């Protein structure tokens, strides 16, 4: 279990063009440190005995907060760390707000995981996006975090101003070379009351289409998995505020974005099992029950794609013997693999 606290915009020294934390999370102000003890206690009341618990400080830039504010938050969690009710703390911050002194402080209070809002490893994209840091800052921050034995996460945002499939691919290669423990991928959205909204309205910014974002993230997830790097989220988590009409002005938003990405990956696997011109017109594909709906695709999109591409009638059936993420097939002319 993760007990989340959103320190909305707190510590952020820059206005990134894409950012309006209030419109994304619905939170106006960061929590008061005095309220943290009560919130954690309430979460722990519903805890299963065997559940591992972390406290997380999301949003904002934790290590860019004044030292007194950082310490107040960490002190509020410390009694739960000492009692063993909370295993550790995780937080998110900026790559240029990591120093050896700050990491020593975090380690003292039980912080185990630090996520960096890298967004891109292209300095031109970072400049146009108002990030205020460079790709070199990310490289340096990851090295410091490794030196101090923290788990490291990196957040990426394809589709920012100036980003292209080529620059994003270079970002992927550089991030893989850094070997983070995990990544999150959030395709850029045009949120109301942001500088990006003004760029969009003036015609100076064109967001990714949903299909293009799915394909970029499809390739990214495949590359990260091949490198042994966990992708813990693809696409923003739906919130009531985010889904309110008018919050998202443009961009590749879908409440089940990751499923679209995984469905695209399964379509690729389906195609690898099929052959143009094969005699059998009806093909049966077997998938793990947990993957069934994703293999079929939303509104049976993958089935329609196979029919259009190969002229085949495809049936997908559940079979628990098939490993998750894999497929097998049989048809009238071919025994089951």
pLDDT digits (tens, 9 = 90+) for 106-117: 999 999 999 999
At a CB cut-off of 8 Å and minimum separation 6, what does 316 contact?
284, 285, 286, 287, 292, 295, 296, 303
Residue 133 has pLDDT above 60, yes or no: yes
Q: How confident is the model at residue 333 (pLDDT cuts 50, 70, 90)?
A: very low
Share of the chain above pLDDT 90, in %: 69
Overall fold of domain 262-331: Hypothetical Protein Ychn; Chain: A, (3.40.1260)
What's the whole-number mean pLDDT along residues 231-246?
A: 89
Higher pLDDT, 230 or 312: 230
At a CB cut-off of 8 Å and minimum separation 6, what does 188 contact?
18, 157, 158, 159, 160, 163, 196, 207, 208, 251
In the block, tokens 């988590």 appear at 237
The span from the CA of 222 to the CA of 204, in Å, is 31
Choose from 4-13, 61-70, 273-282 the range with maximum mean pLDDT: 61-70
Q: How confident is the model at residue 279 (pLDDT cuts 50, 70, 90)?
A: low
User: What are 144-177's pLDDT values in tens digits?
Assistant: 999 999 999 999 999 999 999 999 999 999 999 9
Residue 284 has pLDDT above 80, yes or no: yes
Overall fold of domain 2-255: TIM Barrel (3.20.20)
* pLDDT score at 24: 54
* pLDDT score at 332: 42
* pLDDT score at 14: 64
pTM of the model: 0.88
The span from the CA of 288 to the CA of 82, in Å, is 42
What's the whole-number mean pLDDT along residues 276-295?
A: 84
Q: Provide the residue ranges of all domains of the chain, joining segments of one domain with +.
A: 2-255, 262-331
For 164, other C-beta atoms within 10 Å of its C-beta total: 12
């Amino acid at each position: 279990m993760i007990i989340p606290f959103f320190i909305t915009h707190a510590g952020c020294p820059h206005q990134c063009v894409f950012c309006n934390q209030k419109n994304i999370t619905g939170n106006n102000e960061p929590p008061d440190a005095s309220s943290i003890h009560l919130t954690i206690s309430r979460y722990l009341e519903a805890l299963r005995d065997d559940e591992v618990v972390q406290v997380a400080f999301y949003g904002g830039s934790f290590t860019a907060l004044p030292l007194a504010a950082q310490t107040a938050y960490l002190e509020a969690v410390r009694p739960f760390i000492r009692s063993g009710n909370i295993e550790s703390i995780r937080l998110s911050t900026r790559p240029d707000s990591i120093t050896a002194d700050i990491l020593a402080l975090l380690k003292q209070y039980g912080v185990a995981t630090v996520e960096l809002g890298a967004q891109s490893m292209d300095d031109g994209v970072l400049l146009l996006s108002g990030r205020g840091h460079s790709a070199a800052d990310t490289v340096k921050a990851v090295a410091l975090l490794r030196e101090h034995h923290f788990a490291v996460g990196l957040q990426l945002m394809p589709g920012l101003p100036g980003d292209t499939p080529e620059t994003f691919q270079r970002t992927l290669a550089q991030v893989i070379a850094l070997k983070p423990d995990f990544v999150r991928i959030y395709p850029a959205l045009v949120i109301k009351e942001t500088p990006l909204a003004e760029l969009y309205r003036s015609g100076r910014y064109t967001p990714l289409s949903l299909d293009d974002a799915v394909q970029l993230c499809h390739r990214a997830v495949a590359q990260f998995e091949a490198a042994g790097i966990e992708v813990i989220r693809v696409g923003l988590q739906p919130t009531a505020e985010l889904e309110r009409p008018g919050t998202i002005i443009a961009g590749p938003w879908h409440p089940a974005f990751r499923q679209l990405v995984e469905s695209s990956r399964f379509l690729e696997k389906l195609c690898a099992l099929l052959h143009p011109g094969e005699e059998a017109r009806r093909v049966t594909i077997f998938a793990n029950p947990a993957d069934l709906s994703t293999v079929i695709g939303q509104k049976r999109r993958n089935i329609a794609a196979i029919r259009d591409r190969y002229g085949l009638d495809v049936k997908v059936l559940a079979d628990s013997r098939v490993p998750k993420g894999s497929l097998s097939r049989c048809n009238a002319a071919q025994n089951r693999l």
